[in-house]
A and B are shown apart, each in its own frame.
Chain A
Amino acid sequence: MKKICALGLVTVFMLLGGISLLQAQESDFPKNPVELIVPFPPGGTADVAARIVSDYLSKELKVSVVVVNKPGASGSTGTQAVAKAKPDGYTLVTGNAASLVNAYLFLSNVPYDAQKDFVPLGYVGESPSLVVVLASSPYNTLEEVVAYAKKNPGKVSYAAGGGISAVSTLNMELIKIKTGTDIARVIYEGGAPALTSVLGGHVTMTAAGFPTLGQHIKAGTLRALVTTIKVPEMPEVRSYTEAGFPEVLLNWTGFFAPAKIPPAVNKKLVEAFDKALKNPEAIDKLKKVGYVPEIKKPSDISELMKQQFQLVSKIVKDAKLGK
């Protein structure tokens, strides 16, 4: 009996010690380097954004922020790793439409629920996704392509850069559903081969991100028909809304932590991200790589995700895509 008592006491002390240790950890967070996981390979838009922001975040948190790439399975591999990581604020993830919204609807084996398992910390902004045709083609607007496709079924095609679950692809499918046209979908795994395909005249048009297409639009080889959000350098390119499609999927990027992180740590991280993302230097760098930076509160990020999630579900159902 004595032994049990002693054991019980020891346990209580250990527990107390543990709790006080935990509290200590919470209040002097961060003590160690913070890992920012990018669930995509180096060099992509999400990776570039994470690397730019990590520098400024590091200055705010006063510890180093290490960017680690864990690519695979449309971003779900790295995202899952963070969902399973210890929720202490030292492991964060860069999330975007592909990894947090679209992957969930397309992959049958994504073991996380983007809306329940993560809390948003900060928002980078959106990267424009455009629909382009060859400058030598007769089309000047999206309506003209749609009209031609209606009159000539089987003649119009588009190259879907970024695969079946990409924002750009789903937006094209949305146009097809809304207008009831037959436009062949030619799937590519990245924006670059889709670009080759449209430059070579093998397909009528392609939908891809601004960083891939921008140079060619400026050089006059491609003509932009429509964009998800206005491109500051090209105010003449109409947005989907202006072209009569108010519902559109956005190519957004943000930062997230596992949902169960302590509130105090969460608060610190949100504040640090807010300051880092408001830094004019950071904003300038993000603009350079094609982002349209925007500040959003965590609650607004959740709201955006929810709304986008519903839209994707609808497209997936109507276009008979996905799992």
Chain B
Amino acid sequence: MEYGSNLIYGLSIAVQPANLLFCLLGVLIGTLVGVLPGLGANAALSLLLPITFKLPPVSAVIMLAGIYYGASYGGSTTSILVNIPGEAASVITCLDGHQMALKGRAGPALGIAAFGSFIAGTFGVIMLMLMAPTLAGFALKFGPPEYCSLMAMSLCLVTYLAGESMLKSLIMAGIGLFLGVVGMDSQTGKVRFDYGIPYFTDGIPLVPVVMGLFGISEVLKDIGSHERQSVLASRIKGFLPNLQDWKDSAFPMVRGSLIGFFMGLIPGIGLTTPTFIAYGIEKKISRHPEKFGTGVIEGVASPEACNNATASGFFIPLLSLGIPGSAAMALFLGALMIYGLEPGPLLIKNHPDVFWGVVASMYLGNVMLLILNLPLIPLWVRVLKIPTSFLFPWILLFCIIGSYSLNNRAGDVVVMITCGVIGYLFRKFRYEIPPLILAFVLGPMLEMEMRRSLSLSRGSFSIFFTRPISVLFTLIALAVLLTPLIRKTVFNRKP
């Protein structure tokens, strides 16, 4: 079989000692930056990109891919342990992951996150290998109206993220949408709500907001509170998921992988939104939706599988069309170009060593990550035993370094700290932060895609209802919005 021989060719490249070493180095660095709050895959890639210029192209690309994978692996660790997402894509993992940790089940949560990532990553690589050219066409089916309806549908999922109060979630989503409006309107070039401060021309950046609302506010909340210490010191049950955990998370992982992979094919969706969708769907189809948010393992398995599958999905439009699906992929594209490789329809033909070498090293990378991560779990769990008076100053330090290193801008640090104070107030008054993040991520995309659609149709809204994919998403969005209402009125019971 053609694919078999190609893969063997790829493996023969990937297992060359030097490449193997770069792969290992990549996943190590990736895991590290994934664990450190704020330093996500993007930051790591842009910091290390210049270093890889001196390497041979295949080794460099393998190392960069390793960093990228490692970062999406490592991001969940701090979400679970200290309720601080290592990157935006791990925000949703905080909900149930940290609750599990508070119940003494940090080990199984980390374990299922690692296995989920491994399974989804492997699934993604297999799909990439078998179907890259076929699936690339899927990305192209999405024009502005399709994106717009997809975003609208995703935004409707905000209702499923609501914990105790729907009203509070909607308020938070509203704030998120408003924050997303700040900055230059790319359609006209006019700057909105910047109050004359040049910093806001590009809008409010996501990562400092996430770090502030989660990280800094967690530190602030913990000052004067001894609750965490007593809970964690007393009971830590097991390091690995048990049989029941596996049973509970098998299907969520499969669903998460599928959602993630297909969302990853659509350029521009990003890593964060698919995890929200995966979580929302799990909660919707669960037999016990009320338990979500209290530490159910499905709430960790599905989004964690999802973000790794998305990460591999991104490679398909990149390698087969030369279209980067995210900021990290754009850095990849830049790297490939510097080595004189032009990603696009000719890459597989002209540079099979790069394409298959990267695919094979992704396999190896996933295995390495699992081997690296499982023995680390007991060590990570022990982090919880570090007194917060030692741990939290370090977290604060890393948050500040992390937010500054994103763009070398002091403004990012100010935004992070401001969001930290606001996030503290949100927590104090029991407003949930994830709906804000979802709306903040989706809002600008929804607006831009809608305006693009309307410039295409010269202002006619019929464009959303005359294209099949767009109609489908619009109908799902309506269904998502209306079913709880209908159920409530027809059956006269709480949804």
Contacts and interface: CB of A to CB of B under 8 A. Distances in A.
B407 A215 contact: no
B452 A187 contact: yes
A121 interface: no
Contacts of A47: 334
Contacts of B345: 215-216, 219, 221
B322 A71 contact: no
Interface in B35-90: 46, 49-50, 53
A202 B456 contact: yes
A196 B323 contact: yes
Contacts of A192: 267, 322-324, 330, 333
Contacts of A157: 455-456
B407 A71 contact: yes
Contact of A200 (B141, B189, B331, B448): B141
A80 B409 CA distance: 13
Given A106-B189, A186-B455, A69 B340 contact: no
Contact of A41 (B46, B321, B322): B46
Interface string A91-126: 000000000000000111111000000000000000
Nearest to A190: B330
A42 B331 contact: yes
Interface centre among B46, B201, B268, B321 (most CB of A within 10 A): B201
A193 B140 CA distance: 10
Interface string A48-80: 100100000000000000011111111011001
Nearest to A37: B408
Nearest to A321: B189
Nearest to B53: A51
Contacts of B201: 72-74, 76-77, 107, 109
Contacts of A189: 186, 448
A289 B337 contact: yes
Given A42-B50, A190-B330, A289-B337, A72 B456 contact: no
A197 interface: yes
B46 to A, nearest CB: 5
Given A164-B188, A184-B456, A197 B338 contact: no
Interface centre among B141, B190, B198, B347 (most CB of A within 10 A): B198
Interface string B338-357: 10101111110000000000
A195 B323 contact: yes
A212 interface: yes
B323 A215 contact: no
A43 interface: yes
B186 A42 contact: no
Interface of A: 41-44, 47-48, 51, 67-74, 76-77, 80, 106-111, 154, 157, 163-165, 184-190, 192-193, 195-197, 199-203, 211-212, 214-216, 218-219, 221, 288-290, 321-323
8 contacts: A68-B408, A73-B198, A109-B197, A110-B198, A187-B186, A187-B448, A322-B189, A323-B189
Given A74-B184, A215-B342, 8 more contacts: A108-B191, A187-B448, A192-B267, A195-B322, A197-B143, A199-B321, A214-B342, A289-B338
